[in-house]
Structure 1
Amino acid sequence: MASLPKSSLLGLLAAAPVLGNDPNMKWFPPSSSQVNDLDKVLDGKGTWGFIYDSSHTSDDKYGTYNWCNMPHARKREYKKASTEYELQYVEVIQRHHKRTPYAANAFPVEPYQWNCDNQGLYYFGRQFTESPKPNAQGYWKGFTSEINPFIPSGWIGSCQFPQITAEGLDDSWVHGKDLYEVYHDLLKFIPGRKEDWRSKVMFRVTNNQITSQVAGMFINGMYQTTESVPLLIQQAGVDSLEPQYKCSVGSQLTSAIKSSSNKEWQKHLDKTKDLYKTLDDISGVPSNDVGFHESFDHYYDNLSARQCHKKPFPCKLVNGKNSTTCVDQKLADTVYRLGQWEYSQMYRDAPESLAASATSWGVWIAELASHFRAVIAGKQDLLYLHNFAHDGSISRLLSILQIDVMVWPGMGSEVVFELYKRKEEYFVRVLWSGKTLTSSHPDLGRMEMVPVKTLLKYFDGLTGKDASLVKGRCSGDVPL
């Protein structure tokens, strides 16, 4: 069947969310925290020390959640494995770095322009033939036509919405430099800049252009090259990294989490009606705009993007001019806390979140498992693969790993999989924000040298070996 009927879906949500017949494939709840306690989120103040106004985190506080530039593995903080373990393979996945907001997250009329004249987005094709013709390095330069009578709603300016900003490009470069210092300088694992690194290190992007913008800067930070470097990319519509492949069951499960059938979700919407009225009055967003009112995602992105780039919070426009009724830090912090709660609810607290993530992102998980198997079998020479992705990618991964405390993955969020060998056995260490990830799943626990057999068994139960179960589970032909 193409999709589950509503009655079947509601029945599924009422049942224990176990994938397959193996009870080990069940969802385990996350720990209670300040993030997933709705009463504390609604009644609290500030953002628990989370950073929203700068990409910089001082060395003494590094590891603190920073929405603008999340912590990642660095030589200064990195904990080397015991000498009995030999590193065999590294796969990294990260969210892109900070950007302009998405156009869909703009207010109907924005109070000021957002321009990106301090950078260029390069788009051109180059021949790989025997006698290639040279090309100009063309880049996009946004402009506003005085003649074109069709004025877009929302942001006006020379930026694309979204695009990685100049500051986000700088963060991308530093990220690449930092990981080179870990995996080359400290561990002597990946090849050096003057060695043949191209056969051992590869990079992958999604069909969304912002991941390629990050990749270009990251690669120069890592290998200091301005030469051409291939970026692996799957075809649009079936890409497993973003993800883009069709998964009706996964989409329906996610929609159900964000619906009135989820009492916790409905409760948070009921308790924030006055907050929405305040935000709508300032922004001019109609109260019937579904995108802005099914969650706080749009308001969160709009406000946090401004604050990360040190742009002023918006004020209510009266006759086209700013009034004194404005978003202040207290109001923004409330939106940020609610956004964090929503992501914890969508990807960890709702019992059906594991099934939603395992179906909609299971192909990438199966690809990762196949890389481990290839290394173990001696069939893969690649040492390091870096995936540039999105918050939806990272969130689903953390959901599948059943992270013990869920947060909204900020800009540059990073998960690292390190495959080690000890004698004839293989183990996996998983790093989240540069530190060992802790899972609520009892077989995974603190993911410091988890036997690879344990992890592969878990992944295979969710997706089938080589993703053999994903397509059927996505369509509903294979039961969850």
Structure 2
Amino acid sequence: MKFSLIWAALVNPSKLFSTALTLIVVDRRPDTGTSSDASFYPPLDAISYITNAKHGTYGGIFTAPADEETEKIDGTYNYCTMPHPSPDLYQLPSPVREGSVEAQLIYVEYMQRHQRRTPYNILPGGEDQEYHCDNVHITAGSSSADSSLIPVPMYTETYKDSKNPFTRQYVNGTCQYPQLTLGGVLDGYRHGRDLWAVYGEQMKLLPSSPDTNNVWFRASSSPLTHASASAVLRGIWPDYDGSLPLHQQAAGIDTVDQGFPCPSRSQLLSTIQSTDEWNQHLAATQDLRDRLAIMFNANRTDWMSTFDHFADNFQGRLCNGYRLPCSLDDPSKCAMEDDAYAVFRAGDWEWNYWWNRNQKASHYIQLTEGLFLQEIALRLTAIKEGTLDRVYSHTFIHDGDLGPILGALGIQQLRWPGMAANIAFEVWYVKYSVGPSDLIWKSSPDFLTRQTSDSEFYVRVLYSGHPLRTSEGKLDWVPFSKLIQRLNKHVPQDIVGMCSS
């Protein structure tokens, strides 16, 4: 499939530039709450996290400018644009950095959520401000695989018809809901530039131009992930002038974005959302939900059963330079900052409960993301065994994919994975040092040929640029087999049977 994205901003280049598995990790020091990534791990086991206004955003950021790059603050939970591996943030694994081993990075499995966008969920009572996206051109078209038929370059341009009676019940403006905003495009371009700086320039892993023999790209069937791929890959390879395949599975059976049919998945979610603990969090937020329901005519099950819709609507506004909404029926009644923060904290609690805390989380992960976890485990194994000639894979997916993956990895606490949230599995080939003269970082091309009997493969897992914190410690240096065991624990043996039972 041919894909591309035209950005108005590019006309002006100046704007862009186990417990059971006993995972072995290097860093097992207690969490003091003072490290640079502390904002990623709030006390989400307590419902008081939602209701205690003193928590605010727990150090997180939920605002970004309109039509500009998000301010880059490495190491802080930033819902609008999550941190990613970058020259200012990236460090070698602890054993390599401290000189106790010599090692070479041989493969990266990278996955990310799409960049910031307009909301999915439009307030039932209507929106009181317009969204404008006429500064972003999303291309459309198809060509023959042999290039004998070249399409007319086209892009979508949304307009409003003043005679359309449904306009007031929807939202005025020139956007689709959802779609990437210009700020999201610019963030994606910078995301790619930073990945090149780390994995291209610093680690000498990425090729100078994309070679489909050793790099591979995949996305869900959503236009959001396609547009993000175009922006990020342009940032990695700014001078590349060819096309690239963006692999995707058929939407009806996709192993990401809950693409394959699974009635049991919905039934299990209903069970998870019927527990005493779930109902306690709803009771604790009853006043907030009632007030928002009245203000925005949102007294409907889809808006009241979870905080997903309100959080999505508020995030889509604040992350693109818009203000919080006011009622169309009474403009004096508006959502306030404290309301938004409480909604965001409730969203964090729900994500942690779905994928990490509830007693059926492992089963839910299997039904949702087990097949994709299997794909990851098989690719990593093929790299170790030398049967896959690849150095880099990049998959563009959704928050609903990253949540279960992080849950499967045993994340300590799971906040809602923000825009462009990312996970990197780094595979390292390791040879323990044998003398003082060998206690140095090796990056010579022939390093992989110097295998000895004590050579091994290790994996590091980065979440938004930092080694992932789990209940057993940080995944900074994990024996390869232990990580594969952890992933396989959440791979279903008979997903068809499980989904239909």
Partner of 1:463: 491
SS at match of 1:107: coil
Partner of 2:457: 426
Deviations 1:272-308 (A, max 9, x none): 22111211222122x2x11100111101111111111
- CA-CA distance at 1:453 after TM superposition: 1.1
Aligned partners of 2:415, 2:245: CA distance in 1, in Å? 32
Aligned partners of 1:457, 1:34: CA distance in 2, in Å? 28
SS at match of 1:85: strand
Partner of 2:308: 297
Matched residue type, 2:479: P
Aligned partners of 1:198, 1:40: CA distance in 2, in Å? 47
Partner of 2:228: 214
Deviations 1:87-129 (A, max 9, x none): 2211111011100001x44333111221211111111001222
Partner of 1:353: 361
The unaligned stretches of length 5 or more in structure 1 are 1-17, 26-30
Within 5 Å, which residues of 2 pair with 1:318-329? Answer: 318=329, 323-329=331-337
Query: CA, structure 1 residues 325+204, in 2 after alignment: closer, same or farther (shift >3 Å)?
Result: same
Matched residue type, 1:434: G
The structure 1 residue matched to 2:116, chosen from 94, 98, 110, is: 98
Matched residue type, 1:278: R
- CA-CA distance at 1:252 after TM superposition: 2.3
Within 5 Å, which residues of 2 pair with 1:91-240? Answer: 91-102=109-120, 104-129=121-146, 132-151=148-167, 153-193=169-209, 197-224=211-238, 225-240=240-255
SS at match of 2:374: helix
Partner of 1:454: 482
Query: CA, structure 1 residues 53+462, in 2 after alignment: closer, same or farther (shift >3 Å)?
Result: closer
SS at match of 2:328: strand
Aligned partners of 2:71, 2:278: CA distance in 1, in Å? 36
Q: Is 2:94 the partner of 1:69? A: no
Deviations 1:140-166 (A, max 9, x none): 111123444454732232211000111
Partner of 1:50: 60
- In the superposition, the TM-score normalised over structure 2's length comes to 0.82
SS at match of 2:127: coil
Q: Is 2:392 the partner of 1:364? A: no
Aligned partners of 1:199, 1:460: CA distance in 2, in Å? 27
Aligned partners of 2:92, 2:21: CA distance in 1, in Å? 31
Query: CA, structure 1 residues 337+430, in 2 after alignment: closer, same or farther (shift >3 Å)?
Result: same
Deviations 1:221-262 (A, max 9, x none): 001134311101011111112231123333322222222xx1
Q: Is 2:326 the partner of 1:315? A: yes
Query: CA, structure 1 residues 384+264, in 2 after alignment: closer, same or farther (shift >3 Å)?
Result: same
Aligned length: 433
Query: CA, structure 1 residues 222+290, in 2 after alignment: closer, same or farther (shift >3 Å)?
Result: same
**Segment drifting more, 415-424 vs 240-249:** 240-249
Deviations 1:41-87 (A, max 9, x none): 2022321121011277766x521100100011111221123162222
Aligned partners of 2:162, 2:333: CA distance in 1, in Å? 31
- CA-CA distance at 1:433 after TM superposition: 1.2
Aligned partners of 1:152, 1:214: CA distance in 2, in Å? 30
Query: Does the CA-based 8 Å contact 1:251-1:360 persist in structure 2?
Result: no
**Segment drifting more, 398-407 vs 105-114:** 105-114
Query: CA, structure 1 residues 152+365, in 2 after alignment: closer, same or farther (shift >3 Å)?
Result: farther
Partner of 2:10: none
Partner of 2:44: 35
- CA-CA distance at 1:389 after TM superposition: 0.5
Partner of 2:418: 410
Deviations 1:196-236 (A, max 9, x none): 63322221110111100100011100011343111010111
Query: CA, structure 1 residues 365+119, in 2 after alignment: closer, same or farther (shift >3 Å)?
Result: same
Query: Does the CA-based 8 Å contact 2:126-2:168 persist in structure 1?
Result: no
- In the superposition, the TM-score normalised over structure 1's length comes to 0.85
SS at match of 1:315: coil
Query: CA, structure 1 residues 152+122, in 2 after alignment: closer, same or farther (shift >3 Å)?
Result: farther
- CA-CA distance at 1:420 after TM superposition: 1.3
Query: CA, structure 1 residues 353+408, in 2 after alignment: closer, same or farther (shift >3 Å)?
Result: same
SS at match of 1:231: coil
Matched residue type, 1:126: S
Q: Give the superposed CA RMSD.
A: 2.2
The structure 1 residue matched to 2:287, chosen from 261, 269, 274, is: 274
Matched residue type, 2:268: L
Aligned partners of 1:324, 1:266: CA distance in 2, in Å? 32
SS at match of 2:290: helix
Query: Does the CA-based 8 Å contact 1:303-1:313 persist in structure 2?
Result: yes
Aligned partners of 2:71, 2:173: CA distance in 1, in Å? 33
Partner of 1:475: 500
SS at match of 2:314: helix
